[in-house]
Amino acid sequence: MATPPSAGTFLRVLRDEGVSVVEHDGWRTRNRNHKGPWGPVHGVMIHHTVTSGSTRTVAICREGYQGLPGPLCHGVITKDGRVHLIGYGRANHAGLGDDDVLRAVIAERTPPADNEANTDGNRHFYGFECENLGDGEDEWPDAQIEAIVRVAAALCRHHDWTVRSALRHLDWQPGKIDPSGPGMDWQDIQARVAKRLGTKPPDKPLPQPQKPKVSLSRLVAAARRDPAASGTPVSYAGTKTVEAALVDAGLLTRPRLDGHFGTATVRAYATWQRRCGYSGAAADGIPGRASLTHLGDAHGFTVVA
């Protein structure tokens, strides 16, 4: 168990590791602590933003967007290798992930492939968003990679963790692919962090999880059947994957992530449809292929018939 340090100590720890830090107004007290606990912390999570331009990227991560308020991380690592501190405390970055992965991180062993979204990651991880389009073509500059290495090493050193406590978003939440792209070699990053810590790197890289698949036809049947059913029966297990995405998008409360496509899930999905540009009867909360594919692309699942 690790208690988060004060904001001042957090800043000192990063600077002592040689991190180039940019402090943004109010970062020390900007957080989502009113929505849930912050800590104990167990690791450092690295993401990519799917944005371009440092100024725009920092602003989005600081303010958030409709349905997902900021801060969306503690620090933004821009392509020039600078780390912009925008918040400290609970932040909307990790979302729901796999409890088996959390246990593995705590034990500092190779985590299993993530296949569940049942545990609050915003409570337990430091989060750093990295400026990158996430399109498989946007390069990761050396300065940005070095900043990731130093950030991970700084916090692992402070908490007396090994490099196993540094992980990617894709290791935590089913279907996520970040961080990825040319120049993002996680095994090399692990080796460099371990070298800074004076320890050996892991013997093997973390496994690459597969995206879960959601059947559109079975999901539609659940969306039409479940609201009228008594109790909260689960008629299609893939509903839980979609509900986890809606929770991650800030449209559904976590207690409603139960696999039952009830009225709350219908309302949340209708809001997602409106966010996609639909209105009227086209935003009735019954999933369509286009809106579901868009949700899957954003939150890590594949739509099948």
Q: What would the pLDDT profile of 233-262 be if each residue is shown by its tens digit?
A: 889 989 988 998 898 788 988 778 888 999
What local confidence, expressed as pLDDT, does residue 230 receive? Answer: 87
Name which of 196, 277, 257, 285 is nearest 18 in CA terms: 196
Name which of 282, 251, 283 is nearest 268 in CA terms: 251
What local confidence, expressed as pLDDT, does residue 209 receive? Answer: 55
C-alpha to C-alpha distance for 227 and 168, rounded to whole angstroms: 36
C-alpha to C-alpha distance for 118 and 100, rounded to whole angstroms: 10
Three-state DSSP at 168 gives strand
Contact 39, 3 (CB under 8 A): yes
The one-character DSSP state at 110 is P
Q: Which amino acid is at 81?
A: G
Name all domains of the chain by residue range, CATH numbers in brackets. Answer: 7-197 (3.40.80.10), 213-304 (no CATH)
Sign of CA dihedral 164, 168, 173, 176: negative
Q: Write the CA distances from 84 to 23, 77, 90, integer angstroms.
A: 6, 6, 17
Q: Say what percent of the chain tops pLDDT 90.
A: 75
Burial tier of 289 (Cβ tally within 10 Å: 0-12, 13-18, 19+): exposed
Which residues are within 8 A (CB) of 94 and not within 5 positions of it... i.e. 6 or more apart? Answer: 45, 121, 122, 124, 125, 127, 169, 172, 173
Q: Using one digit for the tens of pLDDT, what is the confidence trace for 80-118? A: 999 999 999 999 999 999 999 999 999 888 888 888 889
- Ranking 173-177, 219-223, 261-265 by mean pLDDT, the lowest is 173-177
pLDDT value at 17 more than 70: yes
What local confidence, expressed as pLDDT, does residue 163 receive? Answer: 95
Whether the pTM exceeds 0.85: the reply is no
Q: Using one digit for the tens of pLDDT, what is the confidence trace for 51-69? A: 999 999 999 999 998 778 9
Bridge partner list, 20: 82
What local confidence, expressed as pLDDT, does residue 204 receive? Answer: 65
Cβ-count burial 130-158 (b if 16+ within 10 Å, e if not)? bbbebeeebebeeebbbbbbbbbbbbbbb
Contact 125, 162 (CB under 8 A): no
